[in-house]
Structure 1
């Protein structure tokens, strides 16, 4: 299990009310899912750039998959 750190976050009342209602009582898990989803969205441009480069780099693909991809 990963290490957890308690933190304080200030939110608008309406947003907190929604999070409490939608979370089924576990606001921490709800916020964690939201932050993990944002983390993936933040990484998307770098992943997209790598995929575009890798799609044109058959040597790198051959190294990764061990086969002739040309």
Structure 2
């Protein structure tokens, strides 16, 4: 079973009301899911920025993968 940690956050009243309404009674799960989805979007944006900066050249990544297989 996954462990959880209790935290305190401050939200604008309208955001909290919308989250409570959409959460189906489980605000913690709703918030965890929203944060996980945002982290995925942030990681995807970072990957896209890296790919743009490297000219979409994945040769270094493939080289590292081949070295790991040896």
TM-score by length of 2: 0.69
Name structure 2 gaps, 5 residues minimum.
Answer: none
For residue 36 of structure 2, what is the aligned residue in structure 1? 36
Name structure 1 gaps, 5 residues minimum.
Answer: none
Cα 1:45–1:15 shift into 2, 3 Å? closer
Instruction: Provide the aligned C-alpha RMSD in A.
Output: 2.8
For residue 57 of structure 2, what is the aligned residue in structure 1? 53
| TM-superposed deviation, 1:45 | 3.3
Alignment of 1:1-70 (within 5 A): 1-48=1-48, 49=50, 52-54=56-58, 57=59, 60=62, 63=66
* Runs of 4+ with deviation above 2 angstroms: 45-50, 61-64
- Whichever of the two has the greater Rg, that structure is 1
| TM-superposed deviation, 1:60 | 1.5
TM-score by length of 1: 0.69
Give me the whole-angstrom Cα distance separating, in 1, the residues matched to 2:47 and 2:61.
Answer: 18
